[in-house]
Chain A
Amino acid sequence: NAGVTQTPKFQVLKTGQSMTLQCAQDMNHNSMYWYRQDPGMGLRLIYYSASEGTTDKGEVPNGYNVSRLNKREFSLRLESAAPSQTSVYFCASSEFPGGTEAFFGQGTRLTVV
């Protein structure tokens, strides 16, 4: 039972490049989330998907897009990377939207130069 799996674990991008972060969960959870973690800023919600077929903006959605591909997978896309997007990105899932434990992936450390 892998839980929440993110790929890649590390990535270096040049300013203006695009990339997609992948996330998959095998716990049959309905809800999935993308957070970014910056020093002193905690975990800030980028986008979330309360259930398959729905996505909503979080606290810091600018510069990102998401796709809930199916119940298992939730991807995060950076169309034109900027240095301000250098961060550690965490995907998480929970059985229901809010109110239940969120399980996190191992994180993706992204550096934009």
Chain B
Amino acid sequence: GENVEQHPSTLSVQEGDSAVIKCTYSDSASNYFPWYKQELGKRPQLIIDIRSNVGEKKDQRIAVTLNKTAKHFSLHITETQPEDSAVYFCAASLDVYSSASKIIFGSGTRLSIRP
């Protein structure tokens, strides 16, 4: 089955700097890669996703890149702000038309923004 590895487990950056979180996946059939943010004591929420037919996607200060050949994808946060402090999870799944699909998550990255 699918296995998603995520690095680093913790990350501390100065406010205003950039943060990068990396994930690798094992199942070459996976083609949907979402990222979730979980603030302290809250539920995970989707912040951005990418499908295999796209190499990069941006939404304001966040971007995700995908390298299908190497089976890895990354989350980039620029101009970090205090409200970016949270745990971030990457995930992988098969496409929406597969009844065998399920969402497998990485182990999470705790991002701290230093003032």
Contacts and interface: CB of A to CB of B under 8 A. Distances in A.
A23 interface: no
A96 B32 CA distance: 12
B34 A40 contact: no
B96 A33 contact: no
Interface string A41-76: 111110010110010101100000000000000000
Contacts of B6: 42
B30 to A, nearest CB: 9
Number of chain B interface residues as a range: 20 to 34
A59 B98 contact: no
B107 A102 contact: no
Contacts of B1: 59
Interface string B31-52: 0101010000001111001000
Nearest to A48: B102
A8 B108 CA distance: 25
A49 to B, nearest CB: 10
B14 interface: no
A104 B6 CA distance: 21
B107 A40 contact: yes
A2 B34 CA distance: 23
B103 A90 contact: no
A45 B107 CA distance: 12
